[in-house]
Each structure stands twice: as structure tokens, then as C-alpha cells.
Amino acid sequence: MQSRLIKTDGLNQQVLEAGEGPLVLLIHGFPELGISWRAQVQALSRAGYHVAAPDMRGYGGTDKPQGVEAYSILNLVGDMVDLVRALGAETCVVVGHDWGAPVAWHCALLRPDVFRAVAGLSVPFQPRRIKGPPTAAMAAISKRAGLGDLYIVRFQAADAHLALEVDPAMTLRKLFYAYDGATPADRRSTGFMPEGVDLLDAIDAAATLPPWMNAAHFAEYVQAFAQGGFEAPLNWYRALDRNWALTAFLQNQRITPPALFVVGEDDPVRHYAGGHEAGLKDWVPNLTRSVVVPGAGHWIQQERSETVNALLIEFLADQAIGARSRR
């Protein structure tokens, strides 16, 4: 594996890559980096693929444009289209985890000519609502159910990132702990917080690193977020309503490339996104498999790296995307 800076159309992207063959892009989520895919970069490159895992816009060694408007889904998909070209390919398979999953789904939705197959981890495709922007609906639903505030709604505040930046190591340790499958069920986050209770205060103060996260790996995350901060990553959430406004032209459009969905059985994201799993086939008609991994939490490509590697390699093989296919 090597890490290098690649200049694309108006953005410098830090990319972890390895291998030769058909291109596979791995898109991380929050609060992660390209390094979250190390096990997949290694396994897929050995299986005959050119694998690239970028630090996404606003993260790590990649540029961090100012302003919420720079983090729309159209910007994020555009970054991946540019990266495919910069890596010397015409087409690729795109895999996304957490926030990277919506980006991957939209890559396949918007540019099926470039992204010929798609895999989403942890977050199913969520079609555009016809009744209005999503954040107001999220707030109303959680209040009616007496669940408190969903963290996504809290992240809409212009200063929400400041609390996360006070102690990046504590923030990251708590977030990884609260969404991990090895964490006791009664200590995992549901994503909802009582009114007046901060996100970090709602997580056990005794939070420890997950079993798969060693100190050296954790230090890489801490250094990246201590330097880059949390404002740009939270701008992805703050752009949700803007995304809704920008994507009216996609209303009722379906994802046509072959697809795979993988989620951990104990992933807390299922508390608020899991409802879309049942109807996924309606919006992704060429969904080949939907896999629930027993006992796994949210950080599935790291918690269950061997399982995810095997599923991805099988998916690629099923689509006849092999080492001899160069497009």
C-alpha cells in the first residue's frame, strides 16, 4: 500500500492505494479516514484489483473547502468521478461505508456509466422524500416518539463541531465505542439524546477503544482530526437539506447497477436508517444480496474485515469483474 496526493478537478485528494487491475473505490464515513479500509485495500489488491481509498472532502489529507455549500452530494459524487479519471480508469466499482454509503449509492444513481457496480455498508439507500427537506422531518418524528434529539439534527447547529474539538481523542474514543458491536448493548448509542444532554455526555465516560482499534491506528485518527477539526465533516450533515433541494431531478429514480448491501446485526444506525432496509430492492432492483452480519456493529469493515473482504471479492467475481478485465 502507498499513500499519495492526487490533484483532481479543483481538489487535492489524499489516497491510500495498492494493486493493479479493475478499479475499486472505497469511500469512508464519519468520523473516519481512508485508513479505515486498510484490510480491504490489502485483500482486494491481492485478489487482482487496483484499490483506492481516499480521505474524502473535508477529511484528513484531502482539501477542506469552506462553507456548507461545498459539501453537497453533487460535490461528493463529482470528487469520485474526478478521482476515477485521475487514476487512469474509465469505470470502477464503488464501495461506501456510513456516510460513504450514500455517496456510493448516488455515484451509481447519477453515473451508472462510470460506476458499474456498487456496495453499501451499514447505510441502505434512502430515496428522496417527496414531502420536504429531511432534517425537519427527523426532528418531528423523534419528538413525537419521545426519543429526544437525533444527533443529525443537533449537528445542524453552526457551532456543533466546537464541542467535538475540545478533546479530539475523547471524542473519537467515545464515538467508536458507542457504535461498536463489542460494546454492551445497554452502552451502545441509539443516536438519540435527551433534551439538554450533549452527544458526548450521553456516551459512557469509561469508553474504551474497540477490540479492533490498536493505539497506533487510533493515534492516526487523533492526529488527523486534531489538525483538520470537525467542522468540515459536520458540513456533510449540514448539507442534507441542500441535497434535497438539489436532487429534485432524481425523484423516483432507481439505482440500476448490480449492488450489494451489508450491515451489522447490532449496528446502532439501524435505529434510524434500518427502516429502509426492507424496501431496498424496490429502489435497487439489481440488488444481488443483502447481508446481516451477526454480532457486528457499525464499523463493519474493521470489526469483521475478513467477512467483508470475502463478500466484496465474491460480489466482484459474480459481476465478472476480475483481474483480466481492465475496464
> Which among 50, 97, 161, 298 is annotated as catalytic?
298
- Taking every pair of C-alpha atoms in the chain, what is the biggest distance, in angstroms? 57
98 is catalytic: yes
User: H/E element holding 315?
Assistant: helix 305-318
Cα–Cα distance, 34 to 18 (Å, whole number): 13
How close are the terminal C-alpha atoms of the chain, in Å?
Answer: 22
**In 3D, which of 19, 94, 88 has the Cα closest to residue 54?**
94
**CA angle at residue 268 from 164 to 26, to 5 degrees?**
75
Cell numbers linked to 282: 424496490
241 is catalytic: no
Cell numbers linked to 50: 487496483
Report how far Cα 19 is from the mean position of its chain's Cα atoms.
23
Cα–Cα distance, 205 to 220 (Å, whole number): 22
**In 3D, which of 45, 2, 17 has the Cα closest to residue 309?**
45
Classified as helix, coil or strand, 154 is helix
> Which among 63, 98, 180, 266 is annotated as catalytic?
98
**Which residues are designated catalytic?**
98, 298
